[in-house]
Structure 1
Amino acid sequence: MSQLHDLTALEQAAAVRAKEVSPTELVEHALARIDALDVGLGAFLTVTPDRARAQAAEAEARLREGGELPPLLGVPTAVKDLNNTAGVRTTFGSTALADFVPQVDDAVVTRLAAAGTISVGKTNTPEFGFPCYTDNELVGPARCPWDPSRLAGGSSGGAAVAVAAGFVPFAQGSDGGGSVRIPASINGLFGIKPSRGRISNAPYGSEVTGLGTSGPLARTVRDAAALLDAMAGPEIGDPFWAPPLPPGETFLALADREPGRLRIGRYTESAMPGTELEPEVAAAFEDAGRLLESLGHVVEDVPHGLLDPAVLPSFERVWALSATTLPVPPDRVDRLQPLTRWMRDRGLALSARDAMEAMFALRVFSRQFVRATAGFDVLLAPVLTMTPRPISWFTEDGEGAPDFERQKRYAAFTALFNVTGQPAVSVPLHWTDGGLPVGTMLVGRPADEATLVSLSAQLEAARPWAGRHPAVWTESR
């Protein structure tokens, strides 16, 4: 017999509108699964049952009143704990802010509520989102539901676990160097890093570096597209605005549209010297290329030599810059974890000239790279170089700098497209013989999420993945 969490987000929304299920029932089901199963997975930093129940009651009142309803009314979701949520503890994954309660919502939180979704809590994230895996001193690691001895990835690891384990049908994440695509790959989900400026980072955000953006994690392309529709759009004063879709068009509608015959470039050049793909990752990448060819697309290799050697050190400097303005009280800096302290010290040691030259180098490179690959409709690339890593793998050589070096080898492809600002997705097309998911990345032209959504939906139809679940899926109280 199917359970409520077997329904997709869009199916849940339709059931609410048809009054086949109530928002309260959906919320109570989500809360019960979190209460029973999350202790071994670490998806949440904070669960908000009272708030979620109150919002469910409000949704039911709207249903009784009738009239125009928001598209995702009553559907449970979750917000990453890097995003301010008014009245809800928001820790940024740090003991230094363990008791912080913001008075304002981030714009993306406001938009999710306006679309009718109900947040059941704040998902686990590493301290200030810096690592590509999720672990912190508040609740510990987010664990991959397919194998809880392995890390769920980051920094949106908690969001991915919440979706993969069937706690919520979709969730908001954010991606400054791969933080949606990495956990999507590890947890067998579809994740979108939108174009720069597609989703507002207001009122604070990462506008200075331009690297970070919110994005959806979901089990299906259509659910992710619907969540992208809910989150997309600028706020007054945003420095980056992605061109809007044509009037009346939606990303959800694009998921039902054929992409046409595309020219797809196989991209395998990494900024990390000597990067090699583990056999299972290489197999997933080659398999994705063959599948695309079987669907009628032209798949060609992208020539190497497009990466300027200055890109990686410039990115590292810009990444460290974002640690210099962390909202940590001076008397709590000593509570920061070793990696965060190392990043912060590195950023503070940069001169103003170093910082500006690094930002300038990334902007120049971005223009060159986008021009050089403009002949391709989509790029095909690995998400990660290795299969999901065991707990504590990243710090086996030491914390701080050694940890960061391991992360660079592991996630050697994703950050490039935060630099260029191009949209990118992770598509769950492959599982290892041992049952671990391995995602593959598709990258679109600037501001062209439309092609990525249509192509991803075509891949999902050709090789459906939404019915594949970890063992925890069928567990209950």
Structure 2
Amino acid sequence: MRVHAFTDDVLADLDAVGLAEQLASRRIGAVEVVEAAIARTERLAELNPMAYRAYDRARGQAATGTDGFFAGVPTVVKDNVDVAGMPTGAGTDAWAPRPAKRNGDFADMYLGTGLVALGKSQLSEYGFSAAAEHPRLGPVRSPWDPERTAGASSSGAAVLVAGGAVPIAHANDGGGSIRIPASVNGLVGLKPTRGRLAQDRVHRDQPIRIVSDGVLTRTVRDTAAFYREAERRYRPLALPPIGDLTRPLRRRLRIALNTTGVDRGADAETTALVHQVAAQLEDLGHAVTETDAPVPASFPDDFLLYWASLSLALLSSGRLVHGSSWDRSRHDNLTLGLARHARRNLHRLPGAIARLRRTEAAAELYYAKYDVALTPTVATATPLVGHLDPTLDYEVVLQRLLDWVAFTPWQNVTGAPAISLPLARTSTGLPQGVMFGAQSGAEALLIELAYELEEACGFARIQG
């Protein structure tokens, strides 16, 4: 049974652009918009999307006003970036979080567009798992089917957007965590090119900058408008501008199709759904060619080791960073298991990093042949709650994660953009995202293609 908060209030089923236009024309007021968003958020409480509520602060900002295109539009910020006055919990019980003294670089840029944060959204511990299931806080559940996970790590954000509480929410992606919850919840999820948006130092300082911040939305125009407004506040000179994109793609593309991945591929139903999208693309005049994945056989093991090394770094510095309240034993089995894997294989880490860095050049060669890569976002339908429970034995939950998250990490390593679009539905009626990747700096191409597919195929909506 679906759970959503869409109703006949001031928010209606407006997207962020539509809401911004209504607010700018004063046909509705920011205070009533924020109150409606708070009420809707509480109606979704059974799905467990919120990590921290800052409702009174949001009411105050709505009353005094914010500046920017999205002035007065409600949102949430994922609980792994700093927002002044709000604690940053990072999805873990391992320490007692304190309110941040100032905004991080991303929050400065994000909230500088006029968005009003209702609080912080839930994520899996440190964002390591593709499902947010906390031993104390409980699982974050899909509004499409509360018996299933809402994906992760940006699960809380996805629930609030798909369920109608807010039209746009912050998400970030170190192995698929914008695209996976977009796929699960029927949303648009663009992981941008590395360096496209302002980013907090904790993510900037990684040996390979695999994490990218972005947003989850219900419409392509909201994603396009966000990147336009972000670019007005933060312009990365090394990348071509995205600009103001408002219409579908006009040129026809060379599209590479792959559903087999490396080592692990998509199941039969997901493969069939992606092939249906490929046929629609051919009907629209695009040329689709089946190809092998442009990824070496070493990639899955190398990425796992690098991913695990981030856990080891977090656990090794925990008490120094978080003080006496930090308790290693409060971490879940996935986080602890990843750290053990990294410690046992530290001698292999330099070689893994070197090989991962070479994938960026390989991606450029691939995109010299093809304009866009088409793959599943995830390899199977959405798992039931409990399937990826991080308190399970580490090896069990790890293998289940690897079976599901087989396609998204490549772009995190190469730094290239990729977008998940809600173009397919499973036999049980659940959204199944389809992913498009392109060369670094080519977000405009992906957004224009998304406009075309939204117009030609339509997107799944939870209300109907």
Task: Tell me, yes or no, whether TM beats 0.5.
Answer: yes
Q: Distance in 2 between matches of 1:49 and 1:397?
A: 32
Could you tell me how far 1:232 is from its partner in structure 2? 4.8
Contact 2:249–2:445 (Cα < 8 Å) also in 1: no
* 2:107 maps to which of 82, 94, 109: 109
| Contact 2:332/2:391 (<8 A) preserved | no
2-structure distance, mates of 1:328, 1:171: 28
Q: CA deviation at 1:374?
A: 2.0
CA distance in 2, matches of 1:196, 1:244: 12
The corresponding residue for 1:329 is: 319
Q: 1:207: Cα distance to partner?
A: 3.5
RMSD: 2.2
The percent of aligned pairs where both chains have the same amino acid is 33
How many residues are matched?
449
| Separation of aligned partners in 1, 2:123 and 2:179 | 14
Equivalent residue for 2:228?
A: 229
Residues in 2 aligned to 1:272 and 1:339: alpha-carbon distance in whole angstroms: 22
Q: Does the C-alpha gap of structure 1 residues 233 and 271 become closer, same or farther in structure 2, counting only changes over 3 Å?
A: farther
Query: Structure 2 CA distance, aligned partners of 1:97 and 1:389?
Result: 29
In structure 2, C-alpha distance between the alignment counterparts of 1:409 and 1:198, rounded to whole Å:
30
1:38 is matched with: 44
Name the structure 1 match of 2:19.
Answer: 12
SS of aligned partner of 1:96: coil
Provide structure 1 residue ranges, at least 5 long, that are not aligned to the other structure: 63-68, 472-477
2: CA distance between counterparts of 1:234 and 1:358? 36
Equivalent-residue separation in structure 2 for 1:307 and 1:112 (angstroms): 33
Q: Which of 56, 60, 65 in structure 2 is aligned with 1:54?
A: 60
Q: Is residue 5–residue 169 contact of structure 1 (8 Å, CA) maintained in 2?
A: no
Given candidates 302, 305, 311, the residue that maps to 2:299 is 311
Are 1:5 and 1:167, in contact at CA under 8 Å, matched by a contact in 2? no
- What SS does structure 2 have at the residue aligned with 1:31? helix
Instruction: Check the 8 A contact 1:293/1:299 in 2, yes or no.
Output: yes
CA–CA distance in 2 between the matches of 1:399 and 1:183?
24
Counterpart in 2 of 1:213?
Answer: 212
1:66 equivalent in structure 2: none
CA distance in 1, matches of 2:190, 2:41: 24
Compared CA separation, residues 386 and 397, structure 1 to 2 (3 A): farther
Say if 1:401 and 1:27 are closer, same or farther in 2 by CA, change over 3 A.
same
Deviation at 1:396, TM superposition (A): 9.7
For residues 241-320 of structure 1, what are the structure 2 equivalents within 5 Å?
A: 242-245=238-241, 250=243, 253-273=244-264, 275-279=265-269, 281-302=270-291, 304=292, 306-320=294-308
Residues 131 and 154, structure 1, Cα contact 8 Å, conserved in 2:
yes
Describe the SS at the equivalent of 1:439.
Answer: strand
1:469 corresponds to 2:459: no
Kept in 1, the 8 Å contact 2:375–2:435? The answer is: yes
Equivalent in the alignment of 2:333 = 338
Task: Give the equivalent residue in structure 2 for 1:348.
Answer: 343
Q: Assess if the C-alpha contact under 8 Å between 2:259 and 2:266 holds in 1.
A: no
Q: 1:234 to 1:74 in 2, by over 3 A?
A: closer
Alpha-carbon contact 1:195-1:447 (below 8 Å) kept: yes
Is the 8 Å Cα contact of residues 77 and 169 (structure 1) preserved in structure 2? yes
CA distance in 2: counterparts of 1:278 and 1:151, whole angstroms: 21
Q: Gapped runs of 5+ residues in structure 2?
A: 1-6, 321-325
Amino acid at match of 1:267: N
Counterpart Cα distance in 1 of 2:341 and 2:64: 48
Q: 2: CA distance between counterparts of 1:260 and 1:86?
A: 44
Native 8 Å contact 1:193 1:424 kept in 2:
yes
Deviation at 1:359, TM superposition (A): 1.0
**Alpha-carbon contact 2:334-2:397 (below 8 Å) kept:** yes
Distance verdict in 2 for CA 1:234–1:195, change over 3 Å: farther
1:449-473 residue CA offsets vs partner (Å, 9 max, x unmatched): 010000000100112226x1258xx
1:406 and 1:360 map into 2 onto residues whose CA distance is 27
Partner of 2:30: 23
Offset of 1:342 from its aligned partner? Answer: 1.2
Contact 1:79 1:173 (8 Å CA) reproduced: yes
Cα pair distance change 1:432/1:269, threshold 3 Å: closer
Q: Which amino acid aligns with 2:220?
A: V
SS in 2 for 1:205: helix
Say if 2:367 and 2:438, in contact at 8 Å, map to a contact too: no
Instruction: Label 1:231 to 1:107 Cα distance change in 2 as closer, same or farther (>3 A).
Output: farther
